[in-house]
Amino acid sequence: MPAIRPTACLVLADGTVFYGRGFGATGQTVAELCFNTAMTGYQEIMTDPSYAGQIVTFTFPHIGNTGVTPEDDETADPVAQGMVVRWDPTEPSNWRAMGDLPDWLARRGRIGIGGIDTRRLTRAIRQQGAPHAVLAHDPAGAFDVPALLAAARAFPGLVGRDLARDVTCAQSYRWDEMRWAWPGGFERREGPGLRVVAVDYGAKRNILRSLASAGCDVTVLPASATAEDVLAHDPQGVFLSNGPGDPAATGEYAVPMIGQVLRDTRLPVFGICLGHQMLALALGAKTVKMNHGHHGANHPVRDVETGKVQITSMNHGFTVDSQTLPQGVVETHVSLFDGSNCGIRMADRPVWSVQHHPEASPGPMDSFHLFERFATAMRDAA
């Protein structure tokens, strides 16, 4: 019997090599390697712009079994660099499936590898701290491992990288689609709403939908928007989106904009994930790279002010150092996994942000009330 040749391999910068079966696009990609523990939502994860520059290892073994549907894309573009899974994707079995994962990945030019011992790999990621890695897929199984290792070692990493400029929108646009609801699907918001400018550092669609569902009339602006651009829309509130890369690097142009909005107006401001980190920077705090970050859909977060615990969706590799929060900025949420900061607010103004993802997609909806809180703050300020 001929030996089964591997058709894909994953080479970590420390020299560890994992062989498996390739699916999706062929070729090779280099990125930071992380793991996500969510049991559902692989399509939303792969299309979350915050994953630019990262390859995602899925710790849940059944990936691909519900296929793909355009409704679940968080953005039109391919974003995560590649995916690593335990079992090869099977034929999709779900009434919503419009296609299968390998074809969908191939169309987006993204590589998948199956047949990997994802427990061993996840331990390696935890021990090494989000390693740099190359993922290669070649149906002929010809791999030049020393060259792949050199490419992994040459990867500059995400520290100091502004990737928002790669994934933000080219031009401003209006958004009126609301969250998916049974039985109508995605309905459009009608009538006048609260005027919100959402700055797109790599926004997930479900964030924009959640704002619309909370009654907001949303105008999305590119990441490079200045305070003048933002205020030209006469907003009642400003939203700062999630996004990829290092908040300190993106903050080089975003933080002056946020600082000026805070200085020149009393508008409510709400930020999520990268938006949270950049609001913290604008208020004078610091951000740091985490060892392997938080990526999953069941992370417990305590609301310090109510004592309530919310189960949240998470996807971040940097964090706000709560020791650096200046006076007048209150820590509102903490991770019950490691005590890291998950939310802040200005003590005397409706300006706040969270590290986790209240829009879920995928994940639990426990924190959706934060969108409603933003809407209430805008109504109160009117």
State in angstroms the smallest separation of the CB of 188 from ligand GLN: 26
Does 185 appear as a known binding residue?
no
Place of tokens 């969108």: 371
Cα–Cα distance, 134 to 207 (Å, whole number): 31
Q: How far is the CB of 288 from ligand GLN (least distance, A)?
A: 10
Degrees to nearest 5, angle at CA 246 with 146 and 204: 105
User: Does residue 50 bind ligand GLN (CB under 6 A)?
Assistant: yes
Q: Is 34 a known active-site residue?
A: no
Catalytic residue check, 357: yes
Work out whether the CA dihedral 372, 240, 314, 205 comes out positive or negative: positive
Beta carbons within 8 Å of 74's beta carbon, 6+ residues apart:
44, 47, 48, 49, 204, 205, 206, 361
315 binds ligand GLN (CB under 6 A): yes
Residue type, 55: I
Please tell me whether residue 64 binds ligand GLN under the rule CB under 6 A: no
The one-character DSSP state at 68 is B
Judged by CB under 6 A, the chain residues 242 through 261 that form the site for ligand GLN are 242-245, 247
Nearer to ligand GLN, 113 or 130 (CB): 130
Annotated binding residue 271: no
274 is in an annotated binding site: yes
How far is residue 4's CA from residue 352's CA, in Å, rounded to a whole number?
54
Taking CB under 6 A as the rule, which mask of x and - marks residues 254-293 in contact with ligand GLN?
-------------------xx-------------------
Identify the helix (H) or strand (E) that includes residue 210.
helix 205-213
C-beta of 158 vs 218, nearer to ligand GLN: 158
Q: Is 280 or 377 the residue whose CB approaches ligand GLN more closely? A: 280
Q: Is 298 marked as a binding-site residue?
A: no
Nearer to ligand GLN, 46 or 274 (CB): 274
Using CB under 6 A as the binding criterion, the count of chain residues that bind ligand GLN stands at: 12
Give residue 163's Cα distance to chain centre: 12
- Binding to ligand GLN in span 223-242, by CB under 6 A: 242
The alpha carbon of residue 283 and the mean position of all alpha carbons in its chain are separated, in whole angstroms, by: 22
Strand partners, 295: 315
Residues annotated catalytic, as ranges = 273, 357, 359
Q: Provide the annotated binding site.
A: 50, 243, 245, 274, 277, 315, 317-318
